[in-house]
C-alpha cells in the first residue's frame, strides 16, 4: 500500500513539473499574439461609409377624442334612444365608484336573491335585480353566487352607450 502511494505522489510531482516548465516559455506563447497584433496594425484603415441622410417625415396628429373607446364592449348605441333616466332619485350605492365596491356574498330567501355589497366605509348593502349601483348609471342585471353583473350607461361623445361589467366575489 505504501508503494502505491509513492507511485501516485511521483506521478503527481512529475505532472506539476511538466506544467511549470510549459509555463516558463513566455516568448513562444506571446510571439504568435504579438505577430497577429503587428499584422493588424500594418493593414491600412478602411473608410467608413457616411450615414444615410435622414428622411423628413410629415407629422401626423391622431385625435380620436370624439370616437368610441376601442376597449369598451359596446352593446347598443344611442341610435335606439339610449339615455339614463336623470329624473329618478339616486340610490345610495350610486354615490360610490364601481371599483371601490366589493361583492361579499349573496342572500337567498324563498325565491328572492340579493347581492351583498360592501362600500369603502365598510357599510354593507344588499342589491336586487334592477337596483342601480356605481356612478355610471349601472343597473344590476344578474346575481349569481360568485358575481353580480351590471349594465352601465356611459356617455360617449354626444351619445350614450351601454357596457356590461361585474363585481366578483372576493
Give the pLDDT of residue 83.
Answer: 83
Contacts of 145 (CB under 8 A, 6+ apart): 106, 169
Where are the chain's structural domains? Answer: 2-42, 78-168
Give the pLDDT of residue 44.
Answer: 85
Is-contact 134 117, C-beta < 8 A?
Answer: no
Q: What is the pTM of this model?
A: 0.53
Tell me the DSSP string of the chain.
-HHHHHHHHHHHHHHHHHHHHHHT-HHHHHHHHHHHHHHHHHSPPPPPPPPPPPPP--------TTSPPTTS-----GGG-----TTSPPPGGGGS-GGG-EEEEEEEETTEEEEEEE-TTS-EEEE-TT-EETTTTEEEEEEETTEEEEEEEEEETTEEEEEEEEEEB-
Give the pLDDT of residue 78.
Answer: 45
Give the pLDDT of residue 77.
Answer: 47
The C-alpha cell that represents 169 in the structure block: 366575489
The residue ranges of the chain whose pLDDT is under 50 are: 77-78
Indicate the CATH number of 78-168 among 3.30.1490.20, 1.20.120.1200, 2.30.30.830, 1.20.1060.10: 2.30.30.830
Amino acid at each position: 500500500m505504501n508503494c502505491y502511494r509513492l507511485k501516485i505522489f511521483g506521478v503527481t510531482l512529475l505532472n506539476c513539473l511538466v506544467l511549470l516548465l510549459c509555463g516558463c516559455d513566455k516568448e513562444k506563447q506571446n510571439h504568435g499574439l504579438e505577430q497577429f497584433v503587428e499584422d493588424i496594425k500594418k493593414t491600412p484603415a478602411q473608410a467608413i461609409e457616411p450615414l444615410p441622410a435622414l428622411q423628413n417625415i410629415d407629422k401626423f396628429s391622431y385625435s380620436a377624442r370624439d370616437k368610441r373607446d376601442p376597449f369598451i364592449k359596446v352593446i347598443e348605441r344611442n341610435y335606439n334612444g339610449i339615455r339614463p333616466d336623470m329624473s329618478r332619485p339616486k340610490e345610495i350605492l350610486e354615490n360610490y365608484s364601481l371599483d371601490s365596491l366589493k361583492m361579499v356574498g349573496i342572500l337567498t330567501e324563498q325565491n328572492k336573491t340579493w347581492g351583498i355589497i360592501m362600500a369603502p366605509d365598510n357599510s354593507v348593502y344588499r342589491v336586487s335585480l334592477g337596483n342601480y349601483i356605481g356612478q355610471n348609471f349601472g343597473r344590476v342585471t344578474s346575481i349569481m353566487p360568485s358575481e353580480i353583473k351590471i349594465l352601465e350607461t356611459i356617455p360617449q361623445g354626444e351619445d350614450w352607450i351601454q357596457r356590461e361589467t361585474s363585481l366578483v366575489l372576493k
